[in-house]
Structure 1
Amino acid sequence: MRALHTCSRLLLSLLATALCSACNGSASDTPAGEPPFPYQEAGIAELQARMTAGELDSVTLTDAYLRRIAQLDRAGPALRSVIELNPAARREAAQRDAERRAGRIRGPLHGMPVLLKDNIAATPMHNTAGSLALKTFRPRRDAFLVQRLRDAGAVILGKTNLSEWANFRSSGSTSGWSAVGGQTRNPYALDHNPCGSSSGSAVAISANLAVAAIGTETDGSIVCPAAVNGIVGLKPTVGLVSRDGIIPISFSQDTAGPMTRSVADAALLLGAIAGRDESDPATAGMPGRAVYDYGTRLRPDALRGARIGVLRNALAERAEIKPVLDQAVAAMRAAGATVVETTLPGEGAWEKDEQTVLLYEFKSGLNRYFQQWRTPVDSLATLIAFNQANASQELHLFGQELLLEAEQSGTLKDPAYIAARGNARRLAGPEGIDAALRADRLDALVAPTTGAAWRTTPGQGDAYPGGSYGAAAVAGYPSLSVPMGHAGGLPLGLLFMGTAWSEPRLLELGHAYEQLTRARKPPTFADTAQTR
């Protein structure tokens, strides 16, 4: 289903006409066989250098991305990664240019067009979580992280599609689909899946539709789409980035994080959005030195002397993944790292408790969000009834059994919930990741993020290959997915995991690995994948 907001559909149509008429033949690339996009694969530092030299301004860059969205996201390969454009984007860009001319540069993100997942509040746009129940909802203010982006000089370009309700509606869902935005397509093979739930953010950045994007994750929703779309995705420690203004699943596990084409850009974006916020109690636990100028800590020789533990789990032994992982391990060893094979104690032992936690916290958090933000639906029960009343649009591909299960859960004072939360965090964190790091005196753990993208089969669920990110998600610890290589033309990601607040070290290691291997290849928008 391709159901955009009426206003968004009109805006995109107008932009496709008006902006393309102003195009000088440089906004497209391989899909149309036209000259390459002039900012293809350009990172924040390069773009800032061009702006400093007077060769580029934010309005020109913003217009270029708007043209590219019109040509590739709605037309051409029809990626459907952008769910709504910010009608004030050009005005914001012009303001940043005026500040630059006046000598006021807010920082490395000054004038950089950024996309946001459509569960993050940003005025004047809607915030829908992909659901028709929220299609008219316009938040009255920005989320805390969005205000930080604006303060840092970023231009909010628009909102990205997602798996509806951040993929917490049905165990039989099709990732990357929402009733509002339709089905997002993987730019490496258009009939393959982009993974979820931050599918639109990952696809848009892989396809060079913006400089960077923000995704959100509860368990895999940043790093899985990052991996299968060939980009960098960072899930921060829970509490490093405020969740204020984000439609929730779980306050124990939810976080927002950067989705970029390079580790350096992820570091810069993280530095802009991280910080304490009184409205999110999780940020109160942040150590005094948790927030850094992450970009200044990156160095290409960071693997020298590092101790890395590679998890040889079932995913790592798959025929299409093992040789790529072996090459990654060899590259790290050649760069001076000590790489040892290790295991994660009790891997997966937390899964049942995690599901209990998510069901309880989803109900509590969503009801609170609906009330505080005065949304068109006022409770989870009302949302369930809305979906039933609009089943032909909302429930024709898969159901809402997770919503029904959550509605039947108890309160957060329920002993079953309290026990499950404690067990899950302990098993995944202190007795899982921390134990593995301590046993071999490791700086980080690495593993394949997930397998290659699978074919999208609407109404039949996902042929999900599994993932290595569950422990970090449940523990609330950081994880970083970096492009590792390809299988049958489809990207694979390498996941770096560490203990709480270890983002500086993970970014150092991920950057060094990225510079060593240069594994990212831009997508070619093929109709299907190569035969594997």
Structure 2
Amino acid sequence: MQRVLLAAMALTLSGTALAGPPTAEREAAAYVAHIATIDRAGPRLISVIAVNPDWRAQARALDREATRGPLHGKAILIKDNIETKDRMATTAGSMALAANFANRDAPLVARLRRGGALILGKTNLSEWANIRSSRSMSGWSAIGGIVRNPYALDRTACGSSSGSGAAIAAGLAWGAVGTETDGSIVCPASINGIVGLKPTVGLVSRTHVVPISHSQDTPGPMTRSVRDAALMLTAMAGSDAADTATAQADTRKADYAAALTGSVAGVRIGVLRGQVGDNPAVKAVFEAALAKLAGAGAVLVDIARVDVPPGLGKAEGLVLYTELKVDLDAYLATTPTTVKTRTLAELIAFNRDHAAKEMPFFGQETFIKAQATKGLSDPDYLAALKLSRDGARGVLDRLMADNKVALLVAPTQGPAWMIDPVQGDQAEGPSASSLPAMSGYPHLTVPMGQVMGLPVGLSFMGPAWSEGALLNAGDAYERVRGPFPKPTFARTVSATLDPPRR
């Protein structure tokens, strides 16, 4: 049914005759037409940086093949910090990488292709995955501009996987790949009303992905349903000899979609009450979600307090800054000779030389901090790594063991804040992302409700390699929640509050 509707939509939008049975080409044509009318014109979401110039030829080739699996012919967008061998640059949103035509697939992209996926294009993002400045405006890049939230166009799409979140919410592809270091999948998924999964670090390869931190980086799927995320993860997961963190992936991965039961009956889930925040509307949406989980048979265990070791956030910062310098220098050294910035130091100089276009709203103080770090043998870095990784794991492990729960649940993030080039990001309320990010544990967000028409996500968190349990819980919740409202491309939330004209 979905393919028929997409074909009909493309006929309406493009005026091109698409009569006939559903095919990968017709489905992709519908998405390309939708990108032209929704992303490049109309509401102008600016969520897609580039459409694959060879999408039609690749779709036709897939249509000539026998079906490879459940992803066959599915159109997938790739965040533009992940390399593909298509005729599209991998820019991380920066002019410094505008000529980064790598002509190689990241292993995760190669796995998606082997599963039959069609790489439709690249998505916009917070430049350099939001690590350049602590005063950044999420969703902005010098290459792409600012990504807009399809639920209210003056609101943030969050980041750094901003384009992936907005594009999937707007129906511009079947699925997308995002990346996360801390919050960069789950925040845009939550704020754009879609499903996002940050896997266990080491389940999905990071090779040929523009890096921030080898301790915390991971790609993950962003989709409109939990089942679709499970299908994508099944294809993406696996070991990669070039990424030592993935050594266990082949033995840990599973057919995540086949394992979905749609039931949480008897599953003990810890409720992180201290992570709800003060917004009464978020509280109400969360309580409604908990009632649905309880009605589905889950055993909810209230956890009023989360004791976090002092200095955890500061330690994470030093880890990210130190690893950014080392990992980004290593990546830049592998780029084509057409890329002239070969180190972080050269990148800082490039940004200064092109400040009018690269830094019109915020600077690069985080890059400068990273450049001043002392390397992976620095005792301060090693101490910070132990505190952030072991400290976060200890917190989550104790919460689950002491309360005898299999999973933890909390609101992912408050509703989307205004896009503000003057003040930068003004996020509201607590975020559920940091402990799973620092620990390397998996984190799933599923749409749970709306606040004034803006989506809010429900987070499921668990121990390492618990993706199957998280996806099953999310799938069970999705079934009892029912359909989630689609975006309306409203100009602003406040427009609904204007008094009627006399």
1:148 maps onto 2:126 in alignment: no
1:458-513 Cα distance to aligned partner (Å, 9 max, x none): 13211112311110000000000000100000000000000000000000000000
Deviation, structure 1 residue 347: 6.7
Per the alignment, residue 426 of structure 2 pairs with: 463
1:294 maps onto 2:256 in alignment: yes
Give matches, 1:30-45, under 5 Å.
none
Question: Which among 448, 453, 457 is matched to residue 493 of structure 1?
Answer: 457
CA distance, structure 1, for counterparts of residue 119 and residue 372 of structure 2: 38
Question: Which among 42, 45, 52 is matched to residue 79 of structure 1?
Answer: 45
1:91 maps onto 2:57 in alignment: yes
Per the alignment, residue 42 of structure 1 pairs with: none
Per the alignment, residue 352 of structure 1 pairs with: 314
1:459/1:495 Cα in 2 relative to 1: closer, same or farther (>3 Å)? same
Secondary structure at the residue paired with 1:321?
A: helix
Q: How many residues align?
A: 481
Deviation, structure 1 residue 316: 3.7
Per the alignment, residue 170 of structure 2 pairs with: 207
Per the alignment, residue 331 of structure 1 pairs with: 292
Secondary structure at the residue paired with 2:346?
A: helix
Per the alignment, residue 125 of structure 2 pairs with: 162
1:272-329 Cα distance to aligned partner (Å, 9 max, x none): 00000001010014472x111100111222x110101110125444212101111111
Per the alignment, residue 24 of structure 1 pairs with: 11
1:77/1:525 contact within 8 Å kept: yes
Question: Which among 52, 62, 65 is matched to residue 31 of structure 2?
Answer: 65
Question: Which among 209, 225, 240 is matched to residue 246 of structure 1?
Answer: 209
Secondary structure at the residue paired with 1:313?
A: helix
- Scaled by the length of structure 1, the TM-score of the pair is 0.88
CA distance, structure 1, for counterparts of residue 403 and residue 168 of structure 2: 36
For 2:300, give the aligned amino acid. V
Residue ranges of structure 2 left out of the alignment (5+ in a row): 1-6, 498-502
Per the alignment, residue 366 of structure 1 pairs with: 328
1:319 maps onto 2:306 in alignment: no
1:58/1:286 Cα in 2 relative to 1: closer, same or farther (>3 Å)? closer
Per the alignment, residue 80 of structure 2 pairs with: 118
1:292/1:307 Cα in 2 relative to 1: closer, same or farther (>3 Å)? same
List structure 1 segments (4+ residues) > 3 angstroms apart after TM superposition.
314-317
Deviation, structure 1 residue 158: 0.2
CA distance, structure 2, for counterparts of residue 456 and residue 517 of structure 1: 29
1:169/1:418 Cα in 2 relative to 1: closer, same or farther (>3 Å)? same
Deviation, structure 1 residue 27: 6.5
Deviation, structure 1 residue 370: 0.5
2:89/2:100 contact within 8 Å kept: yes
Give matches, 1:376-525, under 5 Å.
376-429=340-393, 431-465=394-428, 466-518=430-482, 520-525=484-489
Residue ranges of structure 1 left out of the alignment (5+ in a row): 1-19, 29-37, 39-53
Per the alignment, residue 147 of structure 2 pairs with: 184
Deviation, structure 1 residue 140: 2.6
Structure 1 window deviating more from structure 2 (322-331 vs 264-273): it is 322-331
Secondary structure at the residue paired with 1:55?
A: coil
1:231-286 Cα distance to aligned partner (Å, 9 max, x none): 00000000000000100000000000000000000000000000000010100144
CA distance, structure 1, for counterparts of residue 145 and residue 310 of structure 2: 32
CA distance, structure 1, for counterparts of residue 441 and residue 409 of structure 2: 14
Deviation, structure 1 residue 514: 0.6
For 1:517, give the aligned amino acid. R
1:144/1:132 Cα in 2 relative to 1: closer, same or farther (>3 Å)? same
Deviation, structure 1 residue 142: 0.8
Secondary structure at the residue paired with 1:344?
A: coil
CA distance, structure 1, for counterparts of residue 257 and residue 300 of structure 2: 25
Deviation, structure 1 residue 350: 1.6
Secondary structure at the residue paired with 1:472?
A: helix
Secondary structure at the residue paired with 1:296?
A: coil
Q: Give the alignment's Cα RMSD to 1 decimal.
A: 1.7
1:346/1:519 Cα in 2 relative to 1: closer, same or farther (>3 Å)? farther
Deviation, structure 1 residue 137: 1.2
Deviation, structure 1 residue 349: 4.7
1:349/1:427 contact within 8 Å kept: no
CA distance, structure 1, for counterparts of residue 387 and residue 220 of structure 2: 26
Identity value in percent: 50
1:345/1:436 contact within 8 Å kept: no
Deviation, structure 1 residue 521: 1.3
For 1:60, give the aligned amino acid. R
Secondary structure at the residue paired with 2:257?
A: helix
Structure 1 window deviating more from structure 2 (165-174 vs 347-356): it is 347-356
For 1:313, give the aligned amino acid. G
1:387/1:394 contact within 8 Å kept: yes
Secondary structure at the residue paired with 1:305?
A: coil
Secondary structure at the residue paired with 2:274?
A: coil
- Scaled by the length of structure 2, the TM-score of the pair is 0.93
Deviation, structure 1 residue 372: 1.9
Question: Which among 223, 232, 235 is matched to residue 272 of structure 1?
Answer: 235
Secondary structure at the residue paired with 1:384?
A: helix
